Structure 1
Amino acid sequence: MSTLQNKIDFVALISVNMANANGDPINGNRPRTDYNNYGEISDVCIKRKIRNRMQDQGYPIFVQSEDRCDDGLGSLSERASTTLKGIKNREEYTKKACETWLDVRAFGQVFAFKSKDSVSAGVRGPVSIHQAVSISPVDVQTLQITKSVNGDPGEKRSSDTMGNKHFVQFGLYLLKGSINVQLAEKTGFTEEDAQVVKECLRTLFVNDASAARPDGSMEVVKLFWWQHNCKDGQYSSAKVHRSVKVTLKDSDQIPSSVDDYAITVEALPGLEPEVIDGL
């Protein structure tokens, strides 16, 4: 399989309904917002979901979450040592890592572990993901909840034992990203790998349900995918990303669904996006 030859840019529109899109652990796990109340989903969160979808499709993943570990190895150091043991040359080490794990090929990875047989090395990946930001300010709601059962024998249950559950009433988030050909050549990232990333973005929230994100509460509405006709791109990534225009149909209205927005794509001569419905 040949490495990626043409630059790729993409934009995804993500709707959030009565869900905590990405909780902030230093703020009581409230949905992330900036100082102007625009919702945010971190790039790390998005990459985690993409990795999970890669795993669901049967691809070997280096950075596995604990609840999705499929090789019995409990740490990144163990995973690296098991596969890369005995390789002392840095270039051979990173080449083997890229050949083995799709997420290393895509996102890159820093290998810096304490084990004796590890090699300190870094891989820059071709797939870059921005944090997703909501088009309009979001309304964060908080529900107080009480315990209905005892946690330990002899514990006295009382109705004043309470917790909080936070969620975004509604938000439409815009996610941007790109795939760089020069870095793809270094990691061996292929056109087939790019198609896997596209499918992962289209199905980003499959098998991602939780108490904070019930099934159906988060959805990829549209995925815009531009494949340029050259390595460096016919237009800058910034210009391509800006070509997606999302505006409120009624500027005085508080949005409550995707239908409240007008979504258009500014024409870029010679570069047409593939427009894909999310799952």
Structure 2
Amino acid sequence: MNPIQNKYDFVVLFDVENGNPNGDPDAGNMPRVDPETGLGIVTDVCLKRKIRNYVETVKEEAEGYKIYIKDTVPLNTSDKLAYAHIESDTERAKEAKKNKAVLDLMVRDFMCKNFFDIRTFGAVMTTFVKDSLNCGQVRGPVQLGFARSLDPIVPQEITITRIAITTEKDAANKTTEMGKKHIVPYGLYRAEGFVSANLARKVTGFSEADLNLLWEAIINMFEHDHSAARGKMAVRELIVFKHESEIGNAPSYKLFDLIDVKLKDENKPPRAFTDYSVNIREENLPQGVQIQRMI
């Protein structure tokens, strides 16, 4: 498959209702908050995890769509696949053993070709553990920033009770136990991302098919991730800017500034996506850039 030929920038709006979108382990798993502004935060790592999980769900380890960073699978287990593939080709193995640069390139190309998340986000595959395999480092064409809420959030700690008693000894003395649950009553978050056609062509081979799968995964990244902890979460908008060129026709920040998301009534706290208005000033769109609302 041929790499993409156009640069893209995109904005994602997603919301949470009565859930914890991204707990902070340094704060007892309370929702992440910027202490100076009170705005909620969801890390790029969290969002990439949702995208990986969706691709793994719909592709089910299909050829070219394995996931490198996943639960219960050590990185070196996946690294071994590249070396085993090269060893299976006698002629290529002989060539690789003569020249380390050739070996490194073969390994990198194999990992990019077979693992969607490496082809998309890149990966550090150098583990620096004795006798471990080294697949190098790959800089991916798709990058996401932290998501921030449009307005300050008010994290709440809810006390709950449960009838499932842990031990038989405790069951003899009580019928319920107490617990805690951290939620955000409502928050609308905005994340911004970038897709580099230049890196796709030079490094990973990220293709149009991969791009379409990425948009699909972003739109549906919370649909197969529902849990009691995260409550109701959904992607509300995916706004994509497509440049005519590989390098880009306008700075990303100028495109992001064209999107205004504001509360309709600033005198009451938001409790639904309909409490906001989303306005795109398309009349100020730079020449050579197209815009598309994917939802």
**TM-score of the aligned structures, taking structure 2 as reference length:** 0.86
Q: Kindly provide the CA deviation profile for residues 151-175 of structure 1, in whole angstroms up to 9, marking residues without a partner as x.
A: 1232345478432101101111001
Stretch deviating more after TM superposition (181-190 or 41-50):
181-190
Give the unaligned 5+ runs of structure 1. Answer: 67-73
CA distance in 2, matches of 1:52, 1:76: 16
Q: Kindly provide the CA deviation profile for residues 72-117 of structure 1, in whole angstroms up to 9, marking residues without a partner as x.
A: xx31111211343357621111111001101000011111233636
Counterpart for residue 291 of structure 2 = 273
Q: Residue 222 of structure 2: which of 205, 211, 215 is its match?
A: 205
Amino acid at match of 1:47: K
CA distance in 1, matches of 2:276, 2:227: 27
- 1:1-279 pair list within 5 angstroms: 1-35=1-35, 36-58=37-59, 59-66=65-72, 74-85=73-84, 86=87, 89-113=103-127, 114=129, 116=131, 118-119=133-134, 121-156=136-171, 158=174, 161-185=177-201, 186-214=203-231, 217-267=232-282, 268-270=285-287, 271-277=289-295
Amino acid at match of 2:18: M
SS at match of 1:155: helix
CA distance in 1, matches of 2:55, 2:255: 26
Counterpart for residue 62 of structure 2 = none
SS at match of 2:143: strand
Give the unaligned 5+ runs of structure 2. Answer: 60-64, 88-95
> Do 1:128 and 1:178's aligned partners in 2 also have CA atoms closer than 8 Å?
yes
SS at match of 2:10: strand
> Do 1:53 and 1:200's aligned partners in 2 also have CA atoms closer than 8 Å?
yes
CA distance in 1, matches of 2:213, 2:135: 29
> Do 1:23 and 1:32's aligned partners in 2 also have CA atoms closer than 8 Å?
yes
Q: Kindly provide the CA deviation profile for residues 235-271 of structure 1, in whole angstroms up to 9, marking residues without a partner as x.
A: 1111112211101122222211111212111220432
Amino acid at match of 2:245: C
Cα distance change, pair 145–158 in 1 and its aligned pair in 2 (3 A)? farther
- Structure number with bigger Rg: 2
CA distance in 2, matches of 1:83, 1:210: 35
Identity of aligned residues (%): 33
Amino acid at match of 2:66: P
Cα distance change, pair 133–210 in 1 and its aligned pair in 2 (3 A)? same
> Do 1:33 and 1:39's aligned partners in 2 also have CA atoms closer than 8 Å?
yes
Amino acid at match of 2:54: R
Over 2 Å off, 4+ runs: 82-88, 113-117, 152-163, 250-253, 269-272
Q: Kindly provide the CA deviation profile for residues 130-162 of structure 1, in whole angstroms up to 9, marking residues without a partner as x.
A: 111000001211111234222123234547843
SS at match of 2:4: coil
CA distance in 2, matches of 1:196, 1:187: 16
Q: Between Structure 1 and Structure 2, which shows a larger proportion of helix residues?
A: 2
Stretch deviating more after TM superposition (140-149 or 119-128):
140-149
Amino acid at match of 1:81: K
CA distance in 1, matches of 2:190, 2:132: 43
Amino acid at match of 1:169: P
SS at match of 1:272: strand
SS at match of 1:171: strand
